Structure 1
Amino acid sequence: MNLESPRSRYQQVADDLRDAIKRGDHPPGSTLPSQPELARRYGLNQTSINRAIAVLRAEGLVRVEHGRGAYVQEIPTVKRVRRIDKEHRPHTGSSAYAEEMRKSGLTPRTELVRVDTVIPPAEIAELFGLGETERTLIRHRHMFAEDVPLQIATSYIPMSYAGSTDLALPDTGPTGIYSRLAERGHEPVRFTEEIEVRAPDPAEARFLRISEGQPVFEVLRVAIDAQDRPVEACVNILAALQWRLSYSWRQEP
């Protein structure tokens, strides 16, 4: 502890623990020493140690479970790439999410949490031009990499486009939702995305293992067919500390 430093003592403790995490002294998933142990090590009271842990928690380096301690976050870093030109779309039959994970050297997994028909949120209903009582198909998924929670995705499809029940099945078949829409004459030919940075709600924070003060990206992706009709809207929730968003496109002639 440097008593001459202009940084407060709890900040110095946070600096020291941060450096230890980055060196690998405390690997992902491990617990930090208990607050009483850290207080003895640094010669400080537990209030100061608690403030140091709060700094690391706000940075997304640890998560705190009451009664169990502070755990070092398991954070895979993922680059989310979006290319505009069709030739760059994957042809493997895998989803874009699965392709992104594999390119990052991670093993993807998707868990289908809910399939149902619902009255969508007002923003989604307005996007589709639906009335107050009209319903959409909803597909709500939890997505993982190396079994670490990484993304929440919720797709909405108007019932007039969803057609038969195969889109409500856990497995929607080769290349997924968009191929099934194409078979119905509603192939997406272009996409738009709107990105908002906001605080997570409690359920989102709990699943993504982040504090409610850490920001998330909310990415609203809309699939549009050749008749310029929105045929699917997907709301993706991503913990900002885990993702880097990358976009590229070709210059129009």
Structure 2
Amino acid sequence: MTTMPRPAEEAEENVYDRRSLHERIAADLRDEIMTGDLAPGASLPSTVRLKERFGASNATVQKALGLLKDERLVVGRAGAAVTVREHRQLTVRPASTMAPADTGEPYRWLAETAKCGGKARSKLLAVAEITPPADVSAALRLPDGGTALLRHQVLMLDDEPVELVHAYYPLGIARGTALMEHRRIKGGTPTLLAGLGHLPRLSVDHVSARIPTRAQYEALRLPGDLPVLRTLRVVYADDEQPIEATVMAKAGHLYELRYEFTPE
């Protein structure tokens, strides 16, 4: 791998990048892990080579590696090689989880995530009628101050939080259904909505990278100020009727989204 020469640590000055050197080292290594240049199971370069590459002291290199360990991207201990975790980053394919599950089948997110290895499960945190955030209210076409049903859950993989989910439903659709009950729904809400005659016809995702809120930071057990991927997904039924608006947040350094489409 070809690398650009680096200035000596003692002389480090950068007009634009005001991060400390160990944060910049971690950023470069993180990028190589996420692009696959450092593959799952591969050993990172030795401390000696990293010191030479980045013009850094031993303590600075170790501090950078400590960040990557906290982020669950690498594993290792003192005196042993540091290696990339086998499941250092997972690819999420939204299209694969959109359709209702077949009869007797689990929620599609659980089935798809389990293919990555490990045990996937969902934990329902709250069910309540609330006034949603402004972008959700607009997506559901609610009046000013209007309320919707919130189903709030966290999705887990091997007891590690993967995604924080706030799913909102118009009360005209939710009332009198299992959506209002504080329990998990067999097959997931897409299956329930389809059974009620609200078949999903179109889904629109609004994806952004954001600094995590306090609630996201805690629920996702984030190690630092890395961004989260925030997705606002609006699902429409016939006649472009919005039937669901979901805000999903996941750790940006551990997950990527994969969309497949053809030119119009």
SS of corresponding position for 2:165: strand
Give SS of 1:125's match. Answer: helix
Q: Distance in 1 between matches of 2:70 and 2:196?
A: 47
State yes or no: 1:227 paired with 2:239: yes
Percent of residue pairs bearing the same amino acid type: 23
RMSD of Structure 2 on Structure 1 (CA): 3.6
Shift of 1:250: 4.7
Q: Which segments of 5 or more consecutive residues in structure 1 lack a partner in the other structure?
A: 26-41, 43-47, 64-71
* 1:68-108 deviation per Cα after TM superposition (whole angstroms, max 9, x unaligned): xxxx9986522101338x9x876462223212211111210
Please give the secondary structure, in 1, of the residue aligned with 2:231: strand
CA contact (8 A) 1:188 1:223 kept: yes
2:178 is equivalent to residue 153 of structure 1? no
Q: Matches of 2:42 and 2:88 in 1, distance apart?
A: 16
| CA separation of 1:171 and 1:224: change in aligned 2, threshold 3 A | same
Counterpart for residue 182 of structure 1: 194
Partner of 1:61: 69
- How far the C-alpha of 1:221 sits from its partner, in A, is 1.0
5 Å matches for 1:60-209? Answer: 60-62=68-70, 76-83=88-95, 91=102, 93-209=105-221
Q: Tell me how many residue pairs correspond in the alignment.
A: 213
- After superposition, the C-alpha distances for 1:16-72 in whole angstroms (9 at most, x for unaligned) are x999xx7679xxxxxxxxxxxxxxxx9xxxxx88865664466x4316xxxxxxxx9
Deviations 1:94-136 (A, max 9, x none): 2232122111112101111111110111111111221223211
Shift of 1:231: 0.7
Partner of 1:244: 256
How far apart, in 1, do the equivalents of 2:91 and 2:181 lie?
29
Matched, 1:218 2:230: yes
The one-letter code sitting in structure 2 at the alignment partner of 1:62 is D
Once the 2 structures are TM-superposed, how far is the Cα of residue 241 of structure 1 from its aligned partner? 1.0
Query: Are positions 1:8 and 2:20 aligned together?
Result: no
**Which amino acid in 2 is paired with 1:119?**
T
Aligned-partner Cα distance in 1 for 2:118–2:158: 6
C-alpha separation between the residues in 2 aligned to 1:178 and 1:62?
A: 35
Measure, in 1, the Cα distance between the counterparts of 2:153 and 2:236.
21
Q: TM-score, normalised by structure 2?
A: 0.67
